[in-house]
Amino acid sequence: MKRLPLILASASPRRAELLKLLRVEFSVLPSDATEVAHEHLSPLEVCQLNAHLKARSVAKKIPDSLVLGADTLVFLDNEILGKPRDLAEAHRMLSWLQGRHHQVVTGVSLIHLRGHHERIFAVSTDVLFHPLDEEHIRHYLAKINPLDKAGAYAIQEFGELIISEISGSYSNVVGLPVEKLREEFAAWEAEV
């Protein structure tokens, strides 16, 4: 069995760092696919569809490689919290999240276009926020740039000031569920 060259279809340096944990060689070629957010899809379905679109856009250029696409979203009561447009929206998002549980879902697609083969899956991690008042939220927002972050926060940047508990994969919240991905790579190799 020959291992396919692996391409990470993501510009996120955090995802690249996480992928290195799996001891696989890979190159990076970010996708230019547009993310979607259909209202009739479940959180896991939205993330999987976006991961598929990202992987597919890159796989079309390199059909002989194995392409990994991923999409991470924050869901509160099944509603998507995307990247806030401005600081006021970031503040609103954190006001919704405070004191409550929400889900961080990462969808992953592995595509080998030439081989007509795809594996697609999603992992959800439950996150509980501390109770936060206006001042706590302002204080947190002064420490990070929330505008490029789904849900207006990042666990790896002063996460302890907002997060009380996490149930499930930690790396999944950062952007790639490495435990599940390890299993999927093994399953892929067993199949092909």
Query: For the chain, first and last CA: distance in Å?
Result: 8
Reduced 3-state DSSP string for 10-28: CCCHHHHHHHHCCCCCCEE
Amino acid (one-letter) located at 26: F
Closer residue to a second copy, CB minimum distance, 82 or 168: 168
Which residue is it, tokens 């597919």? 56
How many residues touch a second copy under the rule CB under 8 A: the total is 30
- Kindly identify the residues of this chain, within the stretch 123-142, that bind a second copy according to CB under 8 A: 130, 132-133, 136, 139
- Single out the catalytic residue among 71, 126, 133, 148: 71
Q: Is residue 71 flagged as an active site residue?
A: yes
Q: What is the nearest approach in angstroms of a second copy to the Cβ of residue 130?
A: 6
Closer residue to a second copy, CB minimum distance, 111 or 132: 132
Token representation of residue 150: 């789904």
- Kindly identify the residues of this chain, within the stretch 17-36, that bind a second copy according to CB under 8 A: 17-18, 20-21, 23
Closer residue to a second copy, CB minimum distance, 73 or 178: 178
Q: Which of 160, 159, 177, 156 is nearest to 168 (CA)?
A: 177
Please state at what angle helix 13-20 crosses helix 178-191, rounded to 10 degrees.
60
d(CA 84, CA 20): 30
Token representation of residue 112: 């080998």
Binding region for a second copy (CB under 8 A) out of 14-22, 28-36, 39-47, 53-61: 14-22
Closer residue to a second copy, CB minimum distance, 63 or 168: 168
Is residue 84 within 8 A of residue 23, CB to CB? The reply is no
Residue 166 sits in the site that holds a second copy (CB under 8 A): yes
Residue from 118, 119, 120, 168 touching a second copy (CB under 8 A): that is 168
Residues contributing to the site for a second copy (CB under 8 A): 14, 17-18, 20-21, 23, 130, 132-133, 136, 139, 155-156, 158-161, 163-171, 173-174, 178-179
